[in-house]
Amino acid sequence: MEYPFLHWTAWGGGLLIALVATIHVFIAHFAVGGGLFIAIMETRVQRHGLVSHKDYLRHYAKFFLHLTMVVGGLTGVGIWFTISITAPGATSALIHGFVLGWATEWTFFLAEIVALLAYMRSFEGMRSTRRLILAWLYFVFAFGSLAVVQGLISLMLTPGEWLETRSFWDGFFNPTYFPGLLFRSAIAASIAGVFGLMTVQGFGKDVPDEGERKRLTRFCSLWTILPLPVIVAAGWWHIAVLSPEQQLLALGRSPEMAAGMRVFWWAGPAVLAGGALLTARLPRRAARAVAMVTLAASFLFLGSYEYMREAARRPYLITGYIYSNGILVADAEKLNETGILSQARWVKHKTVTPENRLEAGRELFFLQCASCHSQGGPMLDILPRSARYSTAGMEALLTGLGKVSTYMPPFFGTAAEKSALAAWLTVGLHKTPPPAAVDIVQTDEPVPAFAEDAEFMLTAAADHGVQMLFDSASIDFGHPAQGLTAQLLRRDASPSLVTEQVALTWRLEDRPEVGGPMTLDGRAFRAEGLPVSPYTSAKAFQPYPVALIQAHDEAGTLLAETKVVLPVSSEIGCWNCHGGAWSQGVAGLSEATAQDILRSHDRMNRTDLVRRSSRGERIACRSCHLDADAPGKTVPNLSAAMHGLHAVYLAGRGADACNMCHPTDPKGATRAFRDPHDDAGLDCTACHGSMEDNALGLIAREQAQGVTGLDRLAARIVPSRDDIPPRQPWINMPACQTCHTDLGDPEHAEAFGVWTADAGERFKARKDELDAVFCSGCHGAMHGVYPARNPYGDTRDNLQPLQYQQAARPLGAGGNCKACHTMDMDTPVHHPGMGLE
C-alpha cells in the first residue's frame, strides 16, 4: 500500500524469494554447523597430533570459506533485496521494530568473517593456540548470528504478546524461539556432517590414503546421523507450541501443503540412510554417489521444513499483524469501506468505472495477489487456478477467501473492486465472454377441451416447482424426484371426489412411452419418482414437459382428462465455480464439472471420491449426508452441508446467490421462478431468506441433532445471526399464511423464519378447510402458481385454469365457481379470501 510494487508475471514474488532464500538458509546452517565441525576437528588435530587430519581440515575450511562467505554472503544480500521488493511492508516492520536485533546479527556476521579469514591464515604449525581460539571464536559468532536471527524469523510465525505490547523482548523470545533454535542447531550440525562426507570423498581435493578416507567418512557419518533424534524431538516441540490452525498447515494436513510434508518425511530418512551407508566403508565411487544423494536429501529436508514453516504463517507474513500480500490487519476494515485503490499510492486508477474496470482489476491483482501468484510461471500460477471460473464464480471465490481455507488472505476492498478483480481474472486473463441470455422459443401448448355439461373434471399439480436433475455419471446428489397429485371430481352443485372404480394414468405428451398408472392415496391419486427429463425425444432442452392425465372407469371409458407441466431442469450452475461447461449447451452437469466437485471435496475433507469415481463408482452424496436423523450422526445433511459451505462464498448477493446454482436465473434456460410473486417484485429471499440466513437455519438444526464440527463453518458465514429458527430441509418450509393472513391478500412480504411444523403442512400436502381439495389443485404448483408466466409459452403453466374457466387464475377465482359446482356460489367454503367477486 505505501510502497511501489513490481508487476510480476511469470516469476511471481514467491518464486524469487524461494530460490534465493532456500539456498541461503541451507548455506547459513552449514556456516553454523560447519563452524562447530571445524572447532571440534581442530581440537582433535591439536590434542592428538593428527597430521593427516590437519590437511583434510585445511581443505574443508577452505571449501567452507568459499561457500559460506561468498555464496552465503551474496545470497544473504539477495534475501534483503528480494524481500524489500516483494514484501516491503513486512520488511519495514521488522527493521523499524527490531533494528537493535539486526544490528547485533550483522555485528556477529562481521565478526564471523574476520575470525574465519584470520583462522585460514593461521595454518603455520601443528599446534597453535591462536588457531584453536579462532576456530572456537568463529563458531561462537556463527551461533550468535543464528540465535539472533532465530528470534526475528520465529517472531513472524508466533509473535506472541508482541502483537499487544510491541516489546522487543516479547517479540524476540516468542513461543517458537527455543524449539526452533534447538531444531536449527541440530540440523546445522547434520548438514556439516553431510558436507564433510562430500569433501572426504574427493570433491575438491582427494584424501589419498584409503584408510584415512574411511576413518574420516565414519567420523562425518556420525556427525550426520547423531543430530537426527534431536531434530525429531525439537520438531515435535516446535509444532506443539503452534496454534491448532498453524499445526494443521505445518503438518501438511492442508492439501495445499501436503507436498511439502511428503518431501519432509522422505528426505529425513534418506539423510539417515545415507549417513548409515557411509559408515559401512563403501568403495570410493559408491561413497561419492551416496554422499551426493545425502547432500541433496539434506537440502530437500531443510527446504521442506522452511516451506512448512512459511506455510504455517499463512495467510500472514507476520502472524496477526500483516497479511502475505502486505496489507496490515489493522487496515482491513478501513479498506473494505473506502476501497483499496483509493488508499494505494502507486496505482493509476483510484476508483472503478465501467470504462477502466479491467485495468483497475489488473492493478488490484498486483496489489493483492502477485506477491504469491505468478502469471504463467512455475510458482502458484494464476492462469490454471482461474481458468475454470465464470466471472460470477470468481467473484464468489473472492468473497470466500480466507474464510473456509484460511491459508489465503481475505479480499480487501469494495464490492465494485471485487467485481473488477473477478472480471480481470476471467475476462482479462482468459477472454471469458460474459454470459448471454438464452434465446427461448415460445410455443403455445394446446388447451384441452372441456364441455360445460361435463360430468367429471380432473385437477393435477406437480410436487416441485422445478425438479433439479443432476444428470452426471459421476455424482448422484439424490435430489427428490418429481411427483404428481391428481383428484377426480364429479361436478355438481356440491361436487364430490371420486376415488373408487376409476383408474388414473399419466404420460408425457412428446414421449408417450414415459408414463404409468397413478395410485390411490387417501382422497387423491399419486405418482412418485417420475422419470421425467428436460430433454425431448429430439434432444432439445424443454424443462416444462407436459403430461396428459386421464381418468377411466372400469370399462375403460374416458371420464376426464387434463394436462399439467412436470417441471424438471438440469440447469444447475456448478460450472460457475467448478469449471467445465454445460454438457447440453444450455444445461447439464458435465463430467469435467463433476470431477472438480469431487476433487474439491477430497481436498477440503480428505476423502477419496476421485479415486472411487475413477473405478466406475457413482458417488451418492446422501449415502453420507443423510437427510434423516440417526443415532450418532456426525455428518450434516446434504442441504446443510451444501448451503453452509456455499453461503461463505455467496454472501451478500441476495437472490443472485440462488440464481448461481438453481435454475432460477432470469437469463437462463429454465427461469423456474415464474409466478405472481416475481411480478410483485419479490424474490427467493422473501420466503427462504438470504443464502446466509438459510444456511444458518439448516446448520442450527443439525447442531441441535448433535452433529459436531459445524461451529467453525457457521462462524464463517457473514453476516452471522443467532436468532434464526432451525430448519429441516424438505420438511420445514415457508408457510403461505405467514404473509397471506386468513388466506387473503398479503399483509406483508416477509415469510422467512416461519416454517411449516411437519410434512403435512407443506404447500403440496395442504388441503382446503373441508380437508378435501388440495391447495395445489386449484392454485398450481409452488413457484408456478396461477397465473404463471412460463418462458416457453403463456399457456404451458396455466393449462387447467384455461381449460376449466378460460382465465389464468386460481380455479374458482373471480366468480368462476361453476368450473366445479355447476352453479354460482356466494360462500367461500374452501378458505377465506377466495375472491368470489
Q: pLDDT tens, 583-599? A: 999 999 999 999 999 99
pLDDT digits (tens, 9 = 90+) for 36-55: 999 998 888 888 777 777 77
Whether residues 346 and 287 fall in one domain: no
Domain presence at residue 57: yes
Residues 266-285 have a mean pLDDT of 84
Element spanning 335, H or E: helix 332-338
Confidence of residue 253 (pLDDT cuts 50, 70, 90): low
Element spanning 476, H or E: strand 475-476
What span, in angstroms and rounded, lies between the C-alpha atoms of 564 and 781? Answer: 10
Residues 156-171 have a mean pLDDT of 95
What span, in angstroms and rounded, lies between the C-alpha atoms of 33 and 42? Answer: 14
Domain presence at residue 502: no
Please check the confidence at residue 691 and state whether its pLDDT lies above 90. Answer: yes
> Which has the closest alpha carbon to 475: 337, 617, 358?
617
Q: In which domain, by residue range, is 354 found?
A: 328-430
pLDDT at 573: 95
Confidence of residue 124 (pLDDT cuts 50, 70, 90): low
Whether residues 214 and 345 fall in one domain: no
Give the predicted TM-score (pTM) of the model: 0.87
Confidence of residue 219 (pLDDT cuts 50, 70, 90): confident
Average pLDDT of the chain is 90
Domain presence at residue 568: no
Domain presence at residue 610: no
pLDDT at 252: 66
Please check the confidence at residue 837 and state whether its pLDDT lies above 80. Answer: no
Please check the confidence at residue 126 and state whether its pLDDT lies above 70. Answer: no
For the ranges 272-276, 375-379, 503-507, 762-766, the one whose mean pLDDT is highest: 503-507
Residues 671-681 have a mean pLDDT of 91
CA 181 centroid distance within chain: 35
Confidence of residue 227 (pLDDT cuts 50, 70, 90): very high
Domain presence at residue 771: no
pLDDT at 255: 64
Please check the confidence at residue 34 and state whether its pLDDT lies above 60. Answer: yes
User: Does residue 130 contact residue 122 with C-beta atoms inside 8 Å?
Assistant: yes
pLDDT at 3: 81
Confidence of residue 831 (pLDDT cuts 50, 70, 90): confident
The burial of 630, by beta-carbon neighbours within 10 Å (0-12 exposed, 13-18 middle, 19 or more buried), is given as exposed
Q: pLDDT: is 446 or 746 the higher one?
A: 446
- Which region among 42-56, 677-691, 787-801 has the lowest average model confidence (pLDDT)? 42-56
pLDDT at 524: 96
- Which region among 55-64, 484-493, 639-648 has the lowest average model confidence (pLDDT)? 55-64
The burial of 561, by beta-carbon neighbours within 10 Å (0-12 exposed, 13-18 middle, 19 or more buried), is given as buried
Domain presence at residue 308: yes
Whether residues 116 and 200 fall in one domain: yes
Whether residues 349 and 388 fall in one domain: yes
Q: pLDDT: is 16 or 786 the higher one?
A: 786
Confidence of residue 516 (pLDDT cuts 50, 70, 90): very high
| Cell representation of residue 414 | 469494495
pLDDT at 288: 82
Whether residues 212 and 356 fall in one domain: no
Residue 412: give its domain's CATH number.
1.10.760
Confidence of residue 282 (pLDDT cuts 50, 70, 90): confident
pLDDT at 203: 57
Q: pLDDT: is 126 or 653 the higher one?
A: 653
Please check the confidence at residue 459 and state whether its pLDDT lies above 80. Answer: yes
Whether residues 298 and 341 fall in one domain: no
Whether residues 19 and 52 fall in one domain: yes
Domain presence at residue 88: yes
Q: pLDDT: is 34 or 815 the higher one?
A: 34
The domain tally of the chain equals 2
Whether residues 154 and 259 fall in one domain: yes
Whether residues 261 and 342 fall in one domain: no
Which string of DSSP letters, residue by residue, matches 557-574?
Answer: -EEEEEEEE--EE---TT
> Which has the closest alpha carbon to 483: 522, 533, 445, 532?
532
Residues 726-745 have a mean pLDDT of 88
Please check the confidence at residue 232 and state whether its pLDDT lies above 70. Answer: yes
Q: Which of 322, 351, 370 is the last residue of a domain?
A: 322
pLDDT at 263: 86
Confidence of residue 254 (pLDDT cuts 50, 70, 90): low
Of the chain, the end-to-end C-alpha distance in Å amounts to 68
Backbone angles phi, psi at 55, to 5 degrees: -65, -45
Whether residues 286 and 344 fall in one domain: no
pLDDT at 278: 81
Whether residues 215 and 357 fall in one domain: no
Q: Which of 322, 337, 369 is the last residue of a domain?
A: 322
Whether residues 188 and 333 fall in one domain: no
Please check the confidence at residue 127 and state whether its pLDDT lies above 80. Answer: no
Q: Which of 378, 404, 430 is the last residue of a domain?
A: 430
Please check the confidence at residue 708 and state whether its pLDDT lies above 90. Answer: no
Confidence of residue 200 (pLDDT cuts 50, 70, 90): confident
DSSP 8-state assignment for residue 473:
S
Domain presence at residue 79: yes
pLDDT at 104: 95
pLDDT digits (tens, 9 = 90+) for 88-98: 888 999 999 99
